[in-house]
Structure 1
Amino acid sequence: MVAFTGKTFPIQGIPSDAKLKTKTIPYAPGLPSRHDISEFFFSDDPLKKKQWTLMVLAMNRFKALGVEKKFSYFQVAGIHAYPLQPWDGAEPPPKDPEDPKKLPRGANPYRGYCQHNTITFPTWHRPYMLLFKRLIWEHMKEVIAEWSLEFAQAAEWEEAADTWRLPYWDWARKQKYNEKYSLPEILTFDFVTVYPPKNPEGLSQVTNPFYEFRNPETENGKPDGVSRTFGNMPEGKTQWNIPDNPKGLPWSKYSATSRYGLFSNDGKNFTGLEGVNSFNETNNIFSHVDENWYNPYNPDRKDRDKLFQPPGTLADSINRLFKKYTDSWETFASTK
């Protein structure tokens, strides 16, 4: 990783030679674009196979860093939530307010740095994801350097890294592998195959970084050891312990992310709607949101239904929120 000696780390994107040339989309022709994560999995495209390989190897390096390192996956992911520790010299993240109803309008009603339920939510998340993308890209570059390739071959892999962008998951589209609204297929495998220069036909049984996150701190201190629970970090790193949720969720007893929802201490309930199937509930709720709007008019009024017009689907509602700022779908969809 590139050393930084300033007071705070400057969040920057992946360098690109693409220039701002037009006033309409695309603003910078030739700028690499993001792809659905499923496009990388099982792809026969030479460039995507290289990008897939680099992404998997880089993510595994990223996630293996000790919890005390500022640029570890643990700490960078922790910016968004637990263990609720200061990052990069910033003030400690806010705690849950005692009475969210007494907060001024627009204030964040939740703990942590993330600006949930505030107008700055999008502008907070964009640089946060930019940080993730940049760190993964830097790990990609280190992977290539460690291969010690000939100039021509190294150039091909460098191009793959430089044109890679953080993939996305379109949760509102049915997955091709099962024709259902479900998780991308890549999230269902413990191990995957990659295609490094020395194994162009495929190197199998590589840990799939998209399957889970496991505590990099182990009982014996070795990379292949048994992961410690998140509430039992080794000596000298206990400030990174993750406590149980005040409502009784035993985060400290876990050593990795769960695939089936987190059970509370009463042994009867888990977080979320249906654990690993929450996306089904989400799709159902969002697609029927226009049918369940509250009608504010008095139920005794005969013209009640005529007076109230539901604002439509979630997409319609969001578009209405921004209609004063965007006069076309082109500008609404823009990230300029």
Structure 2
Amino acid sequence: VYPRLEINELQKNKDQFNLFILALQAWQDESQDRHTSSSYYGVSKIHGVPFGPFNGDPEDLDNTNQHGYCTHNSILFPTWHRVYLAMYEQQLLARAFLIANKFTGDKKTAMLTAATQLRIPYWDWAAVPANGNSLPDISTYTKVNVTSPDFGPISIDNPLYSFKFKHAKTDSTYGIFNDWNSTLRYPNNNLPGASTRDKNLNAAFTVLDDQHGLQDQVYHLLTKCKDYGMFATGDAVFSNEGYRSSLEVIHNTVHMRSGGDAWKDASGNWVVGGHMTYLPLASYDPLFWLHHANVDRIFALWQAMNPTLTFNASQKAVDNTYTIKINDPIDNTTNLTPFLKGDGQYWQPKDVADYKATFSYTYPEFLTGLTPIQQINALYSSSRGPVVTERSLGSYAPAGKAAAPSAIDNAKLAANGSEYQYSADIQTPRFALQSSYTVYIFLGEPASEDPSTWSFDDNQVGPFGVLAGVPGSNMVMEEVIISGSIPLTRKLQRKLESGELKSMAPTDVNPYLKANLKWKISWLGSCVDPTTLKGFIVSVAASTATLPADDTEAPVYSPSHIIVDVTAGVAGGLN
């Protein structure tokens, strides 16, 4: 059992990183025939397009299964993607061993050791690194230097920057994407020669409010959410006034930020987002796998915090996959198609809880001797000081002795000494617009009506990405309401410090939010009237958190309640 390392940390292990890049590049260069199952293309298409059977599953002769195998709006979301990642890792490591064996002498020995210890890396997008940009630098370079067993030191096309389509492309019905020869992020136009707008991509992951928002969402998910169904899926059926977010909806926002919102060019024509922005296409982007490795890591941390709660949920399917139909019963014995075990039976959720024993990987947090909550406090708490850890995380590394909570002005505290907490809770129909869109939360009006500026607006608190289909694809999806939360506490505390608020008490915060809380919906470069989305609601939840005395404890949260007056009577607010 070896750890999956954070991508910046993997780069420090020169042999492992060299082998990882060589294996990924070789794998991506394999056949893109739609019937090839083990190539990068073949594994990626499981998630979405081109729709079709895998591993001997029955062919869809009626052409009615216009869906990939991926499970979303489902309690299967964490477990299905865990097995998907394990398959990806298995195929990548097979190439790594082939390449390692091509070296000679001592170098071959070193590379075989590297292949044995190599696991796929993760990208911790919830961390706030010292340089202010959480996007891995290596994913933004078009070229990368490696040492090849055949050619020695050479520069190659970076397989983490994009995946290049050959004649097969995605074999989809999406005209714009069929015209592109590689995966793109924040594309500059819809033409065949489009390219990634690297500056826009980098800028999206340097917005400090957004980074703090992801950090707070992950911290709350790991310390506040005590129900597996609520943790696993964005389906609003599992949410309540106490907690609206989930692993899936947080993951959706990272998808949207990675691919970019659709936008309008100078001529007023809308330009699509990149591959990561759309469910059927996302898995072709190499960033997808770094992202999902971190999703699985957060799942592992939640399991460690809640060892008796994993998989204690069931539901009826709310939308289709290639093999699951609406209203099919789902629980911990549902087949995670198309993934087969060695005995020829499908994997099921109950099989994958012990990922260490089953798939032979772990994460650095479980190798330090610290408890899960100590690790979570060190990485994601906004109120705790850093703790000592033997793990090296480069610019992400906590360092120093555990510090007591910083002195908080009494104006931030309730009478019992606990800290006031506020969030903007969102419920919205996922597929109502037939493609992905983003809800932005503001404290004050944005400076511009141009949606492409909203991510960087000073008044923006955070985006809520709604991951859906591709514009113009006409995918038929059953409607489902999803829910999530944008934490407001940090931004409100800054308003207190600037003098705009007298205190964090509801008597001061409620009227301030009623006057200043705004929301905007961006879709295809336009602003959408929230009243046109059936089921769209923004509300504000309030609670308090008793902060831990030291890093060995989690906060104790009071029950949340909805502050009705804040959004009542406003378009898209409570009715």
Taking the aligned partners of 2:122 and 2:40, their CA distance within structure 1 comes to 18
State the SS of the aligned residue for 1:193: strand
Taking the aligned partners of 1:37 and 1:333, their CA distance within structure 2 comes to 30
* Matching of residues 1-336 of structure 1 within 5 Å: 31-41=1-11, 43=12, 48-68=13-33, 69-92=36-59, 111-147=67-103, 149-150=104-105, 152-176=106-130, 178-180=131-133, 182-196=134-148, 203-217=153-167, 230=169, 241-244=171-174, 250-261=176-187, 283=211, 286=214, 310-311=241-242, 314=245, 329=305, 331=307, 336=354
Shift of 1:75: 1.3
Taking the aligned partners of 1:184 and 1:114, their CA distance within structure 2 comes to 26
Q: 1:288 to 1:137 in 2, by over 3 A?
A: closer
Structure 1 equivalent of residue 512 of structure 2: none
Shift of 1:262: 8.1
> Which string of whole-angstrom CA distances, capped at 9 and with x for unpartnered residues, describes residues 307-326 of structure 1?
xx9525847999xxxxxxx8
Taking the aligned partners of 1:168 and 1:174, their CA distance within structure 2 comes to 15
Q: 1:330 to 1:113 in 2, by over 3 A?
A: closer
Q: Relative contact order: is structure 1 or structure 2 higher (C-alpha 8 Å, sep ≥ 6)?
A: 2
Residues 53 and 195 of structure 1 are in contact (CA less than 8 Å); yes or no, is this contact kept in structure 2?
A: yes
Residues 191 and 204 of structure 1 are in contact (CA less than 8 Å); yes or no, is this contact kept in structure 2?
A: no
Residues 48 and 69 of structure 2 are in contact (CA less than 8 Å); yes or no, is this contact kept in structure 1?
A: yes
Which TM-score applies when normalising by structure 2? 0.34
User: Structure 1 counterpart of 2:113, which letter?
Assistant: E
State the SS of the aligned residue for 2:156: strand
Number of positions where the alignment pairs a residue of Structure 1 with one of Structure 2: 226
State the SS of the aligned residue for 2:18: helix
Taking the aligned partners of 2:50 and 2:185, their CA distance within structure 1 comes to 20
Residues 144 and 156 of structure 2 are in contact (CA less than 8 Å); yes or no, is this contact kept in structure 1?
A: yes
Which TM-score applies when normalising by structure 1? 0.56
Taking the aligned partners of 1:117 and 1:327, their CA distance within structure 2 comes to 20
More strand by share: 2
> Which string of whole-angstrom CA distances, capped at 9 and with x for unpartnered residues, describes residues 250-297 of structure 1?
2222211112148679xxxxxxxx87766669657656879xxxxxxx
State the SS of the aligned residue for 1:146: coil
- The runs of 5 or more residues in structure 1 that have no matched partner are 1-30, 98-109, 218-227, 231-239, 266-273, 291-308, 319-325
Residues 128 and 215 of structure 2 are in contact (CA less than 8 Å); yes or no, is this contact kept in structure 1?
A: no
Shift of 1:128: 0.9
User: Structure 2 counterpart of 1:158, which letter?
Assistant: L
> Which string of whole-angstrom CA distances, capped at 9 and with x for unpartnered residues, describes residues 17-76 of structure 1?
xxxxxxxxxxxxxx21111011123x2xxxx11011110010011000111232111111
- The runs of 5 or more residues in structure 2 that have no matched partner are 192-199, 221-239, 250-301, 311-352, 355-575
User: Structure 1 counterpart of 2:171, which letter?
Assistant: N
Taking the aligned partners of 2:63 and 2:201, their CA distance within structure 1 comes to 26
State the SS of the aligned residue for 1:331: coil
Identity of aligned residues (%): 24
Taking the aligned partners of 1:139 and 1:327, their CA distance within structure 2 comes to 31
